[in-house]
Amino acid sequence: MLDNKVIHKENLKMAPNLEDYTATSKYFTYDRYIDELVWFDHDKINAAYNAITKNALGDRKNKIAMYWEGENGESRKYTFLEMEEASNQIANYLKSLGVSKGDRVFIFLPRVPELYMAFIAILKIGAVAGTMFSAFGPQALYDRLDQSQAKILITTSELAKRLSTVKKNLPHLKRILLTDKGFAHEISMQPKSLHVAQTNEDDDAYMLYTSGTTGKPKGVVHRHKAIVYEYLTSKWVLDLHESDVYWCTADPGWVTGIVYEILGTWACGAATVVHAGRFDPSVWYSIIQKYEVTVWYTAPTAIRMLAAAGEDLIKKYNLTSLRHITSVGEPLNPELVTWSKKVYGLPFHDTYWQTETGGILMANFPSVPIKPGSMGKPFPGIIPHIVSDDGHLLKTGQTGNLAFEPNWPSIMKKLWRRPVKYESYFMRVKDLANKRVYLTGDQAYKDEDGYYWFVGRADDVIKTSGERVGPFEVESALIAHHAVVEAGVIGKPDALRGSIIKAFVVLKEGIKPTEALKNELSEYVKKNLAGHAYPKEIEFIDKLPKTRSGKIMRRILKAKELGLPIGDTSTLEEY
Ligand code: PRX
């Protein structure tokens, strides 16, 4: 039974694209919708063609594709035709440099227009685009460029400085193109027309590195066919109509910024708003007002910060253009759903997915009542299961591993050169005749109304301000400092940021455990690894809890930090 905490939505400002969730889910097959995309042949499709070229060749050619707002308030706008031509010119330039199908071309840029054009250009020629968040430092850059064997990097002269120490160890990197040095001139000399590569549906389109509990980041590869799912989820979950001005606040260094700022959005013909600056409540509200944003996709940390900025601020802006607001990346507190309903007149709709899933798997749909705190219901065609560690199905209300039947078009194709790791994402379920399911690494349960509730991670992956950080990478970055013997890193719950990164550090003998050294270590990780992935808190300890085989037991560090029982210590070495 639905309880009285449910938010019903009688007063939608526009008829949603998905009017009847139940009936659509019941009769769903991809075949019904496949023709809403452009195929060159029955198994040939190009995601960039469907995002840009299709629109530039049709009625939408003079429609705005991108409103760009710079850091200092400068603004530009681009039509689909302009995006088409600019991306064609970049594509032709890349071809002239010898880039061909399957080559990895990486982008390390702040949110400038060239980022979006280059991303489309790379896909258009059948090369594989990789994006890297502009806060990354030398180690994070090296790990990605080295493992992917990227051939070309597109960046700025300022950001390129971060490569100065590692460049010599990247033999596959043939060229570094600087968008602020000669790039515009080179591009302007190129033809504006291009034969878009008729890629096979399973050809690699883009790759993104993401973190797990152990080891270096893994290169998650997505194929061109993912556009089918990117498009349908944009249409039904974000409810994008071509008339929408849509603002996704994510950076294309993360998957949300690729799928729901570039590919899915444009495949629906909507205009995307890009804000190059940092988070600031007044600036954010002024962007919604200026561009008359209708659909908004953001993250719980930002929403918590907006709530902290208060209601008086909201009253200074006209936000009545908003009609649908959505959230992703970390648990959305139920209070934020009711708060947003009160202050914006609209409830935030939580959505759930991962880099590996390539698209939204669970959502609160515009036409379905919301239970605040729940991540909603599966997208049509998606089959979730809650599974025990030993491969049995769990019942309604029981918490277990959130798994999905791997049947949707945007599930990751592979991990770049990590086939064994890729296989570790799958398990056989005994109660489903040994069917293979995809494991998310998250824990959840289903309630009696079919809503899913996120409980937590099953592993040590940290979500800080909605960004995914692997503890191993932070530990490795700390160990590289001369004062450190070893380090254990956990996510410490934080009311604003979801979690903050906390490091327990063992110092070399004779090194003084001072406050100054804590700051130095934080700064060291910030500079060498990434500006967002450094420990905000450091505690010096004499010894780390480890298993007898030498693995750091982060869950014990976490339990100690939170004052919780330590749990099973049978594998713990003497501590
Ligand atoms: O733990 C889940 C959390 O973010 C993880 C995926 O992170 P990433 O690959 O960076 O992708 C983020 C954007 C798609 C998940 O395994 N997560 C994502 N959405 C939610 C969430 N946790 C709770 N509620 C959500 N809605």
329 lines ligand 1 (CB under 6 A): yes
156 three-state secondary structure:
coil
pLDDT confidence of residue 571: 67
110 lines ligand 1 (CB under 6 A): no
| Fold (topology level) of 464-562 | GMP Synthetase; Chain A, domain 3 (3.30.300)
410 lines ligand 1 (CB under 6 A): no
pLDDT confidence of residue 487: 97
| CATH code 3.40.30.10 for 382-456 | no
Q: Is the pTM of this model over 0.85?
A: yes
The protein residue with its alpha carbon nearest to ligand 1, atom 8, reads 354
Structure tokens at 421: 């790791």
Burial bucket for residue 301 (CB in 10 Å: 0-12, 13-18, 19+): buried
Strands 400-404, 384-387: pairing kind: antiparallel
Q: 34-67 pLDDT, tens per residue?
A: 999 999 988 999 999 999 999 999 999 999 999 9
pLDDT confidence of residue 4: 57
Closest CA to 289 of 71, 15, 67: 67
298 lines ligand 1 (CB under 6 A): no
Provide the angle, in degrees to the nearest 10, between the axes of the packed helices 471-479 and 515-528. 110
Sign of CA dihedral 277, 281, 284, 290: negative
Round to the nearest angstrom and report the end-to-end CA distance of the chain: 49
The CA distance from 568 to 305, in Å, is 37
Sign of CA dihedral 278, 281, 287, 292: positive
Closest CA to 143 of 163, 115, 119: 163
56 lines ligand 1 (CB under 6 A): no
355 CA from centroid of ligand 1 (Å): 8
Burial bucket for residue 310 (CB in 10 Å: 0-12, 13-18, 19+): exposed
Q: Domain 8-352 in CATH: superfamily?
A: ANL, N-terminal domain (3.40.50.12780)
468 CA from centroid of ligand 1 (Å): 8
DSSP assignments along 71-125, one per residue: TTS-EEEEEHHHHHHHHHHHHHHHHHTT--TT-EEEE---S-HHHHHHHHHHHHT
One digit per residue, pLDDT tens: the chain, 575 residues?
Answer: 445 589 988 778 899 999 999 999 999 999 999 999 999 988 999 999 999 999 999 999 999 999 999 999 899 999 999 999 999 999 999 999 999 999 999 999 999 999 999 999 999 999 999 999 999 999 999 999 999 999 999 999 999 999 999 999 999 999 999 999 999 999 999 999 999 999 999 999 999 999 888 889 999 999 999 999 999 999 999 999 999 999 999 999 999 999 999 999 999 999 999 999 999 999 999 999 999 999 999 999 999 999 999 999 999 999 999 999 999 999 999 999 999 999 999 999 999 999 999 999 999 999 999 999 999 999 999 999 999 999 999 999 999 999 999 999 999 999 999 999 999 999 999 999 999 999 999 999 999 999 999 999 999 999 999 999 999 999 999 999 999 999 999 999 999 999 999 999 999 999 999 999 999 999 999 999 999 999 999 999 999 999 988 899 999 999 999 998 877 776 666 55
pLDDT confidence of residue 1: 42
462 CA from centroid of ligand 1 (Å): 10
The protein residue with its alpha carbon nearest to ligand 1, atom 15, reads 354
Q: Which helix (H) or strand (E) holds 245?
A: strand 245-248
The CA distance from 52 to 206, in Å, is 16
Q: Which residues contact 164 (CB under 8 A, 6 or more apart)?
A: none
328 lines ligand 1 (CB under 6 A): yes
What are the domain boundaries of the chain? Answer: 8-352, 382-456, 464-562
